[in-house]
Structure 1
Amino acid sequence: MNPLYPDARTALQDLIQSGTHLAVGGFASAGVPTDLIGAVHDLQVQNLRLVCCSTQRSEHFGVNRLITNGQVTRLVTSYLGPNDVVRALYLSGKLQVEFVPQGTLAERLRAGGAGIPAFYTPVGAGTVAEDGKEVREYGGRRCLLEEAIVPDVGLVHAWKADRSGNLVYRRTAQNFNPQVASAARVTVAEVEEIVEDGQLDPDEIHTPGIYVQRLVLNPTPDRSVLTVRLREAR
């Protein structure tokens, strides 16, 4: 049975250290493990190497809390986001950023979880993504060698879990969470509801509990960043 921790800080305080290679699930504001990110922020660890699909609009939400607090020195992402503070850190050289095509980033994490050290893909060939990478031709197409990503710690958000750590995500909040959960050496899941073993239909489980080492209950995740934008009818 997976240990259920009383709060996010307790679940992370012996895992997250300065220099930790950290991956975080979520895309924009969907499926973001806000409590776990807040705990990393409060632990004040430095020199984090962060992998995430995207940053967020507000510097007070999601991984932007870590970046704008100066805790992240290297970021691997597919989208830097619209936040001016994060963008300024990148342009000033205070934040190293490796931009990866979104599908390639997902596959690098998936490969890490599957034990595949590297793979070839035509995505990015002939662009800046090719710089410094081994190139081979397959079927008449130039392909880049991409290495798997295996983070030290993965933080994910799920809708439901059972006490064995099996996870169910809700709609688009699934996004990168399954890939992060499988790739990381240790995965901590922040979940909105925990049920007893056997109460989840096996067909609805997205991430098997074998990939999840720790659970934190957060029945009311922070969704304050969500906004509705309307425009006048023409």
Structure 2
Amino acid sequence: MSKTSVKFLICFIMALTIAALTSCQKDNLEDAVLTETVHGEQGVAGTAGENGRDGEKGDTGEQGPQGEKGERGPQGEQGPQGEIGAAGANGADGEDGNANVRSFKFSLTSVASSHHTIEMPQLTTEVMENDVILTYLQFSRPLLLTYQLPATINVGLGGGRSLAADISASLWVGEITLSLKKPGELTSLMDSDIRAGDLKTLRVVIIKSTESTTGKTAEQNVRAELKSAGVNISNYDEVARYYGID
């Protein structure tokens, strides 16, 4: 056999061998792909375990330090006015005052003379002709003695000083004049006999007369009324209490 024939035969045998091997591998691969996997039955689920118990509560920690107080914020805007509340109950009526009696008080603490004039516009001609006018002089000491005028007085003024005098209050339209004279004489005291602070106040009470009583008749009626009520007209405090004035 020639070398050419031998080579041809060897090549042919090798080709057949390769083809056979390729065919076998293909068959094995198809079998592997087509083979169905068989699954086993699902097992029974196990019983759930019991919940564990809660742990004990730990101790409370110590309170931390208090923080510093912050600055005060700005004042807020004023809110709207609230509704007006219901009116309260009416109070009890007070006692009626005496509209026919007026009282006036003048300070004399700066007076240092035997004559002193006070302006008093309430002393009109009508008042002087018809109403009752009572005047009272009060000393600063001793014990705030008060005298209805006119009066004759002899009082100690403290510091070894004393004062004896006839004192009167002269009424004029629009004014009243206080005069201090030597007892039983028409001579006025020396101005040096009166020092600032010796006299305290002059009180004037005007009691309005009724239409049917004027002048002397009105004064007589007032005196009779006060006497009937047990009021000493020379005592200013009793007169003030009776008429309800200061």
**Per the shorter chain, which TM-score range?**
under 0.3
TM-score by length of structure 1 reads 0.22
TM-score (norm 2): 0.21
- From the CA coordinates, give the structure whose radius of gyration is larger: 2
